[in-house]
Amino acid sequence: MQPIHNFLATCPRYFETFLAKELASLNAENIKPAQHGVYFSANQQDAYRICLWSRLANRVLLQLDSFPGQDPESLYNGVKTIDWTQHFTADMTFLVHFVGQSSALRNTHFSALKIKDAIVDQFREKTGERPAIDIENPGVRITAYLIKNKISIYLDFTRTSLHKRGYRTQYTIAPLKENLASVILAASNWQTIAKTGGSLIDPMCGSGTFLIEAAMIATDTAPGLANASSLLNNWKQHDKTAWKDVVNEAKKRQKTGLATSHSRIIGFEADSFAFKSTAEHIKQSGFSAHIEIHQKELAYWTFDSALQPGLIVTNPPYGERLGDKQSINYLYQRLGKIIAKHINWKVAIFSADTHLLRALAIEPEQQHSFLNGKIPCQLMVSTVHPTHTINESTELTLFAEESTKLNDDIKPFANRLIKNTKHLAKWARRENIVCYRLYDADLPDYALAIDCYGSNLHVQEYAAPKSIDPEKAQQRLQDAVNAIKILFKHSDKQIVIKKRQRQKRLSQYEKQNDHQKLFVVSEKKASFLINLTDYLDTGLFLDHRNIRFEIASMADGKRFLNLFCYTATASIHAALNGASQTTSVDLSNTYLDWAKKNFALNGLSDDQHQLIQMDVTEWLKINKKKFDLILLDPPTFSNSKRMHGNLDIQRDHVQLIQSTMRHLSSQGTLFFSTHFQHFQLSTDDLDDFILKDITADTIATDFKRHKKIHQCWKIQHKIQSPWPNIKK
């Protein structure tokens, strides 16, 4: 019967409880958690088994002795009483690590040197030789702890930290350590889920650590198996037969596990470099047949009903990868929205920002604190229930029967609003949109444009002619707003009123308020952030809807360029419909920040989708890339201080179109659009291109009353025949 030894398994802070449970499952006894580790007892073979199988420990340390000591002399004498020749030979190297301080032992480096001196002096006295120190790759590691005037001396069973499994060869941004990934899986109950054949998905898998650690657990693979030949220190009392038995036992268990595991383990990653790293790590780990990875944006992750319910686990970015926290907040909203569809799945999200975790809109069942390096983080664990939803703007609801409460003067306006709502709501439902123009000065006395953004209404009053009494115009506006409130049962918070008049230069882009009240609306596959209060425009040009849809229908596999991109809504549609890359250029930082949030909200990263803050005309001079699909939607006039000169669309459109066409591939398509009602396209100056007026096709049902709200052309290169003319 093998003797029982005392050990200390070290671990990162907050792992202790989970490590204690793991050690109990590996036959350890007398288990006592402490800060940064767990004390336990075991025979030598079980200690070997713990070294091979522990997924959470950093090191397994064999206690050689423990004695009172708080000064250099007692430390030296206590260390020298240990017979070091029983543990290693003079021709081997060693390294000492000291932890703790006292009034007389204040410097850990000095304390480590005292231990080294005691060991070397003993070897000289007994053998006439001395072992050497090796900092890089010592044959034996010795660790000493000074706690409450008591010194404990340990010999490290392993050459390196147990968290290094050997499969990580590529560097990625802020990778999780392997044992941190494993403790998160332990807290998420993955081992039990895997035994029942449950699936695991990491929608933002980074370097693939969760995937590989999960595969090890699902296939009953010992984490130290790949490093078994070099895992242990060169301890003189090493039992090669016992170690071989433990390793062979692990190999048999792995063989059975690989053959019987039915869990599907799937990872998604948008970043191309991280994806290549993940693929390499999976190959190195030997789990290529057990892990599926896809280079996809979060936007393309959808609920798969064919998967056995299991665990969704991920460590989304919370630092520099996506930039500002607001954008990342919307990324978490997107993540939460997709997770909410996975009813009865377990979900575990690891983040350094608890505010971001709230954006998931999932009520946590458990929360655990861990450290990612030195960064305090939270793990939220929950089960997805049908009640988990993300708040988005809902469909507009009409209460037509309420019109009986209105006086006769306003009833013509109310009746037209009722008629329009019934007709357009059905159309919008078929088109899968919630934003549309509900009323556009249909009646002369009520010169309003009313736009529906989900359940919110954006009311713009067209400036009345000077011949109209201002008080009468104001009364009509008030009557109309009251009718709107009654018919839709809206509060003041759901209605925003603005006056729209002829704009001077860039006033349509100037800030009017600073409420920053954003809400989410949907348009087919896309989601957008809307701000009804701070600018004259809202973040979404409703009249460009059909242009966006046409671009989306053509985008698959295409390189898309969006010039004067505003909030990049067309780029979002292109990306969600398979564009290989998108580039969006605008001079306004405000709108590019807004666009960045839109990309995050839709689960699209900056790996394939670039936002460029620059004067478009200057960018066209320096760009070297070609694009297959371009949207050119310039303002009517611009004289920004950051521009070189100014832009007048009527004067400058020929040069602007010609400059843009130089960046269009030979068989590509340019959409040119303008809101300038008096615009005249100079076709004679553009006869090098094929021009097609598609304005009629781009005016949707809700803008049929005012068909000149914009003009749009499809422009292409004249394709030359590849065959030369042959004279007969």
Long-range contacts of 186-190 (CB under 8 A, 24+ apart): 186/18, 186/21, 186/22, 186/55, 186/56, 187/18, 187/348, 187/366, 187/368, 187/379, 187/381, 188/311, 188/313, 188/346, 188/348, 188/379, 188/381, 189/311, 189/346, 190/214, 190/217, 190/218, 190/311, 190/313
Confidence label for 173 from pLDDT (cuts 50, 70 and 90): low
Instruction: Say whether pLDDT at 86 is over 70.
Output: yes
- Is the residue at 309 inside a domain? yes
Give the CATH number for residue 280.
3.40.50.150
Say if CB 492 and CB 459 are below 8 A apart.
Answer: no
Tokens representing 190 are: 């993955």
Is residue 144 domain-shared with residue 198, that is, in the same domain? no
The mean predicted confidence, pLDDT, of the chain is 91
Is residue 521 domain-shared with residue 493, that is, in the same domain? no
Q: How many DSSP H helices and E strands does the chain contain?
A: 19, 30
Tokens representing 320 are: 């520099």
Is residue 580 domain-shared with residue 528, that is, in the same domain? yes
Q: Which of 204-218, 604-618, 635-649 has the highest mean pLDDT?
A: 204-218
Q: State how far the Cα of 670 lies from the Cα of 660, in Å rounded to an integer.
A: 8
Amino acid 721: pLDDT = 45
Last residue of a domain, one of 332, 358, 383: 383
Q: State how far the Cα of 559 lies from the Cα of 693, in Å rounded to an integer.
A: 23
Instruction: Say whether pLDDT at 15 is over 60.
Output: yes
Instruction: Say whether pLDDT at 492 is over 70.
Output: yes
Which amino acid, one-letter code, is at 441? A
Is residue 685 domain-shared with residue 646, that is, in the same domain? yes
Which amino acid, one-letter code, is at 477? L
Q: How many CA atoms lie within 13 A of 571 on its CB side?
A: 32
Confidence label for 515 from pLDDT (cuts 50, 70 and 90): low
Of the listed ranges 328-332, 414-418, 526-530, the least confidently predicted one is 328-332
Average pLDDT estimate for 349-372: 91
- Is the residue at 106 inside a domain? yes
| Pairing between β-strand 647-648 and β-strand 637-638 as defined by DSSP bridges | antiparallel
> Kindly report the CA angle at 339 between 338 and 340, in degrees rounded to 5?
90
pLDDT above 90 covers what percent of the chain? 79
Q: Which of 400, 360, 402 is nearest to 378 (CA)?
A: 360
Amino acid 726: pLDDT = 39
Instruction: Say whether pLDDT at 235 is over 50.
Output: yes
pLDDT per residue as tens digits for the range 369-424: 999 989 999 999 999 988 755 455 578 999 999 999 999 999 999 999 999 999 99
- Is the residue at 246 inside a domain? no
Q: Structural domain of residue 457, as residue ranges?
A: 400-501
Average pLDDT estimate for 352-372: 91
More confident of the two residues 499 and 590: 590
Give the CATH number for residue 468.
3.30.750.80
Element (H, E) at 661: helix 649-661
pLDDT per residue as tens digits for the range 203-216: 999 999 999 999 99
More confident of the two residues 530 and 325: 530
Is residue 9 domain-shared with residue 132, that is, in the same domain? yes
Q: Where are the alpha helices (DSSP H) in 5-107?
A: 16-25, 44-53, 72-80
Is residue 290 domain-shared with residue 422, that is, in the same domain? no
Q: Where do the DSSP E strands lie in 110-254? A: 132-133, 140-147, 150-156, 200-202
- Is the residue at 486 inside a domain? yes
Is residue 668 domain-shared with residue 549, that is, in the same domain? yes
Q: Please provide the DSSP assignment of 532-594 as one string.
A: SSSSSS-S--GGGHHHHHHHHHH-TT-EEEEET-TT-HHHHHHHHTT-SEEEEEES-HHHHHH
- Is the residue at 633 inside a domain? yes
Q: State how far the Cα of 112 lies from the Cα of 108, in Å rounded to an integer.
A: 6
Is residue 362 domain-shared with residue 405, that is, in the same domain? no
| Pairing between β-strand 93-99 and β-strand 647-648 as defined by DSSP bridges | unpaired
Q: How many domains does the chain have?
A: 4
CA-derived radius of gyration, the chain: 34
Distances (CA, A) of 119 to 74, 75, 86, 96: 14, 11, 12, 10
Is residue 204 domain-shared with residue 90, that is, in the same domain? no
Is residue 569 domain-shared with residue 687, that is, in the same domain? yes
Which residue in the block uniquely carries the two structure tokens 């954003």? 518
- Is the residue at 347 inside a domain? yes
Give the CATH number for residue 42.
3.30.2130.30
Collect all residues with Cβ–Cβ distance below 8 Å to 248 and sequence separation of at least 6.
none
Amino acid 326: pLDDT = 76
SS (H, E, C) 708-728: CCCEEEEEEECCCCCCCCCCC
Q: State how far the Cα of 88 lies from the Cα of 93, in Å rounded to an integer.
A: 9
Amino acid 469: pLDDT = 81
More confident of the two residues 103 and 546: 546
Instruction: Say whether pLDDT at 719 is over 80.
Output: no
Q: Count the Cβ atoms, other than its own, within 10 Å of residue 348.
A: 24
- Is the residue at 26 inside a domain? yes
Average pLDDT estimate for 267-285: 93
Amino acid 233: pLDDT = 87
Tokens representing 360 are: 């998931």
Average pLDDT estimate for 470-481: 89
- Is the residue at 38 inside a domain? yes
Is residue 313 domain-shared with residue 455, that is, in the same domain? no
Is residue 464 domain-shared with residue 543, that is, in the same domain? no
Average pLDDT estimate for 327-351: 93
Instruction: Say whether pLDDT at 536 is over 90.
Output: no
Say if CB 210 and CB 199 are below 8 A apart.
Answer: no
Instruction: Say whether pLDDT at 322 is over 90.
Output: no
Q: Which of 596, 631, 560, 14 is nearest to 323 (CA)?
A: 596
